[in-house]
Structure 1
């Protein structure tokens, strides 16, 4: 393989992750979702709980290519690039949460959505912070130093939760991150889907999530440096297996948990991502089995833009009212549910939106439109 050639498997991995993010975020009805497509209620890890950490892992993979340019830039230019990208992604996340900036009131009139209850954190906001912190660690400490720093973050997070979390430090209400988010963000600007103000993309739990980015960078960096080595794939599989085992072992004392993003969860998800990527490298790069890869390449070429558009589409549905029902609910209850039933209809509703967003990505690829933040 040419030394400057990108690994198609990395692009397919990223695209697969984006497609899965759209699928799990757009069921026809949250009442009818098969268990593998639901998040674990608290401790544990479902297939859906792998999607977000896989995306962060893919962000790290992409950084292993993009940050090569940093060596030709001044320190001020590097910092400007990192902080600009971090700020833009964070701002896009906030605006997406606020979009479409209007809502229907009780009288059925469109009114301006006040920022008084605007959620500050979210998926894109966490991606932004993890990218920014991860990029700074890698830039200043280099890959090996960033790896050590990641270990410190994971152990430090565990220590902080254990020391300041009271009698049940890994519970919803005992998690010290909850108090930090309330103090800094304020309850009005937090997620309320758990029955109380709780931020699953909280400030403190963002620190171990940085590990998914740094370790993703490390895997991408390792693959590039060892692309000609006959033992590269074997070493990658060994690393992934060790990380999964370490995550499971650590999970006995520090349960695997997405909502507070435990350190064991970071190791476990990075391990599975590494194993999945190893399989893709074997089939796509070594065996040249590339049938069907273009479907996921389309998502991987404009990942952030397509993810943002998936949120825009769903939120625009809320402005279209048909017989006292928004278009999202109407489309499910009048098309997918009657034809396919509750659960299958809900699942195919999500598949429909994956395909809808794929068509957008396909059109952009045909037009050579690639939006980078």
Structure 2
């Protein structure tokens, strides 16, 4: 019998392209691009300075490649949902048990996110604790995407995405903000910041708003839901060329709609605008398609091992980068090696050494088959 969510499903298989793309993304989330950022304006090479500039967020409106990194991870989290849920169903887990598992995962990620963003945690001064976090957003998006996946077909989920993005668009332009009115998209006068200041407890990252605050969770979750569409498609028994065409077409369509929408609703990561969601989800479809084509269709896989090692322990590398001082260890081990190099390059080489230490730590876990998951 064909399943509701995917009419032509085949037995799930682990795709190396998903692990590699997750590893590529998580490396940048955790700080793997710091080496390039620290080289800015030091080499005299225009392309190095350009890449370094792409690894910084714009002050407000606009877009750089670094803005794509977190949305890509939310999308990949969604891609994994059909695989993990179908595996649970095959084990005999009921829908309620799958809900509980996703809810428990969400709570754990929220707690880990609070610990990560509040070092040390000010237990006796809760007003200084930042509640919003990257991990918390991943947990909430994954939980909501799981609920939608278990109850709606792919067409209905796409309608949910459209409804959320249109509603978000309408809210920001039609609901007046005290002292600023409706449709104000400035840093000080937008609805999102006002809502965070009045309803989000604890410390706000940007003082007057938090980029991972309350209302922005809704457009952000759309990335995970879009990822479930890609995951469903990868599970089908379609020919590989058809799967690739689907990914690329979906990506081009989303980017096109996002760019057109941005004429009136600017691309803005801080506000997670609807145009930003469509642009980044479209890019995610295309990146997944390219990784799938090169790694799983053409079978050029050796180069992907570097990222696979990270992708199979993504939570570990994220927390390791935040709780272990790899820069200090890098300096202690490698400072003598790069001492002859001009001093302005030392911090970049220290970061590169730290990246090497992180990767070998992940490689050790990989060889020992230690994969920390929630």
In which range does the TM-score fall when normalised by the shorter chain?
0.7 to 0.9
Distance 1:30 1:279, change over 3 A: closer
8 Å contact kept, 1:24–1:37: no
8 Å contact kept, 1:21–1:51: yes
Within 5 A, what are the aligned runs for 1:89-168?
89-101=109-121, 114-164=125-175, 165=177, 166=181, 168=183
Q: CA deviation at 1:203?
A: 0.7
Q: CA deviation at 1:244?
A: 0.9
Gaps in structure 1 of 5+ consecutive residues: 103-111, 318-326
Determine if the alignment matches structure 1 residue 359 to structure 2 residue 364.
no
Query: What's the counterpart of residue 213 of structure 2?
Result: 202
8 Å contact kept, 2:12–2:83: no
Which whole-Å CA distance do the structure 1 matches of 2:67 and 2:165 have between them? 19
Of 183, 186, 190 in structure 2, the residue corresponding to residue 175 of structure 1 is 190
Taking structure 1 as the reference length, what is the TM-score of the superposition?
0.84
Which whole-Å CA distance do the structure 2 matches of 1:113 and 1:295 have between them? 43
Residues 82-111 of structure 1: CA deviation (Å, up to 9, x unaligned): 210110111110112223448xxxxxxxxx
Of 227, 240, 258 in structure 2, the residue corresponding to residue 247 of structure 1 is 258
8 Å contact kept, 1:23–1:353: no
Which whole-Å CA distance do the structure 2 matches of 1:36 and 1:148 have between them? 33
Of 227, 236, 240 in structure 1, the residue corresponding to residue 247 of structure 2 is 236
Which whole-Å CA distance do the structure 1 matches of 2:63 and 2:276 have between them? 8
8 Å contact kept, 1:10–1:58: yes
Determine if the alignment matches structure 1 residue 74 to structure 2 residue 94.
yes
224-233 or 295-304, larger mean C-alpha shift: 224-233
Query: What's the counterpart of residue 298 of structure 1?
Result: 309
Which whole-Å CA distance do the structure 2 matches of 1:82 and 1:301 have between them? 19
8 Å contact kept, 2:330–2:354: no
Distance 1:44 1:87, change over 3 A: same
Report SS of the residue matched to 1:370. coil
Query: What's the counterpart of residue 103 of structure 2?
Result: 83
Determine if the alignment matches structure 1 residue 265 to structure 2 residue 283.
no
Taking structure 2 as the reference length, what is the TM-score of the superposition?
0.84
Number of residues paired by the alignment? 346
Structure 1 stretches of at least 4 aligned residues deviating more than 3 Å after TM superposition = 24-33, 69-72, 99-102, 112-116, 327-331, 334-342, 344-353
274-283 or 29-38, larger mean C-alpha shift: 29-38
Q: CA deviation at 1:353?
A: 3.2
Of 28, 35, 57 in structure 2, the residue corresponding to residue 39 of structure 1 is 57
Distance 1:155 1:358, change over 3 A: same
Which whole-Å CA distance do the structure 2 matches of 1:298 and 1:340 have between them? 33
Which whole-Å CA distance do the structure 1 matches of 2:154 and 2:343 have between them? 50
Report SS of the residue matched to 2:29. helix
Query: What's the counterpart of residue 49 of structure 1?
Result: 67
Q: CA deviation at 1:330?
A: 8.3
Which whole-Å CA distance do the structure 1 matches of 2:107 and 2:367 have between them? 30
Report SS of the residue matched to 2:341. helix
Q: CA deviation at 1:337?
A: 9.9
Query: What's the counterpart of residue 320 of structure 1?
Result: none
8 Å contact kept, 2:252–2:282: yes
Within 5 A, what are the aligned runs for 1:328-343?
339=341, 342=344
